[in-house]
């Protein structure tokens, strides 16, 4: 198998391990076992364990970024539709899986890895917040809104994180769909006449 292929295989095994055993429980032996490969191979493709973890997080972050960015770039969508697309991306069935949520919160959970997280996704997070802030500002031009675009963008991020955590902690009580509807419902309250749901 190609080198790039092996790397992806190992990263996938790492995601599975983190979801099963947590970051601290994710040993190189378990990762190699999960991938059906030898221990030494991990260090061959990733200089160190930290590099493997960094690459794993980067993969997830990039995957998420591509998902919302493609719709935001489309010229045929208006501001409301683009915000809608960002919300959809957040709860997309490929993005919002229990396994991947477990990885995100694993990095949130420890001071040491929180630094990794900031290093890797600070730019991406900031970009998304800035984009949605601009989109809310665009919406605000045409309608009276009770909150500033800045506040709305930040509140949206908080809602994303909070619903993600609830899906992770209580998967039986919280579904992706319910979470998405919850967020859209909130946006509908803030932006009169917008984000009405069909149902």
Partner DNA sequence: ATTTCCACTGAACACTTGTTCAAACAATTC
Partner DNA sequence: GAATTGTTTGAACAAGTGTTCAGTGGAAAT
Among 11, 13, 28, 191, binds DNA (CB under 7 A): 28
Among 11, 14, 15, 26, binds DNA (CB under 7 A): 26
Say whether residue 44 binds DNA (CB under 7 A). Answer: yes
| Shortest CB 48 distance to DNA, Å | 3
Q: Toward DNA, which CB reaches closer, 3 or 93? A: 3
| Shortest CB 169 distance to DNA, Å | 24
Q: Toward DNA, which CB reaches closer, 27 or 182? A: 27
| Shortest CB 154 distance to a second copy, Å | 7
| Shortest CB 167 distance to DNA, Å | 28
Among 8, 12, 22, 49, binds DNA (CB under 7 A): 49
The DSSP line for the chain is --HHHHHHHHHHHHHHHHHHHHHHH--HHHHHHHHT--HHHHHHHSSSHHHHHHHHHHHHHHHHHHHHHHHHH-TTS-HHHHHHHHHHHHT-TTTS-HHHHHHHHHHHH-HHHHHHHHHHHHHHHHHHHHHHHHHHHHHHHHS--SS-HHHHHHHHHHHHHHHHHHHHH-TTT--HHHHHHHHHHHHHHHSTT-S----
19, interface contact from DNA, a second copy, none, CB < 5-8 Å by kind: a second copy
Q: Give me the residues that bind DNA (CB under 7 A), please.
A: 1, 3, 6, 25-30, 37-45, 47-50
């Amino acid at each position: 198998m190609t080198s790039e292929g092996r790397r992806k295989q190992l990263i996938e095994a790492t995601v599975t391990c983190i979801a099963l055993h947590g970051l601290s429980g994710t040993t190189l032996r378990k990762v190699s076992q999960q991938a059906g490969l030898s221990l030494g191979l991990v260090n061959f493709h990733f200089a160190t364990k930290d590099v493997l973890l960094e690459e794993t997080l980067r993969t997830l972050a990039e995957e998420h970024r591509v998902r919302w960015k493609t719709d935001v770039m489309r010229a045929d969508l208006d501001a409301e539709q683009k915000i809608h697309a960002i919300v959809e991306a957040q709860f997309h069935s490929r993005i919002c899986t229990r396994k991947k949520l477990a990885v995100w919160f694993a990095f949130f959970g420890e001071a040491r890895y929180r630094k990794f997280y900031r290093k890797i996704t600070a730019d991406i997070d900031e970009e998304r917040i800035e984009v949605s802030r601009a989109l809310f500002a665009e919406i605000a031009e045409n309608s009276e809104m009770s909150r500033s675009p800045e506040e709305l963008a930040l509140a949206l991020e908080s809602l994303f994180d909070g619903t993600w955590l609830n899906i992770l902690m209580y998967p039986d009580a919280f579904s992706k769909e319910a979470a998405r509807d919850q967020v859209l419902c909130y946006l509908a309250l803030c932006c009169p006449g917008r984000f009405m749901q069909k149902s």
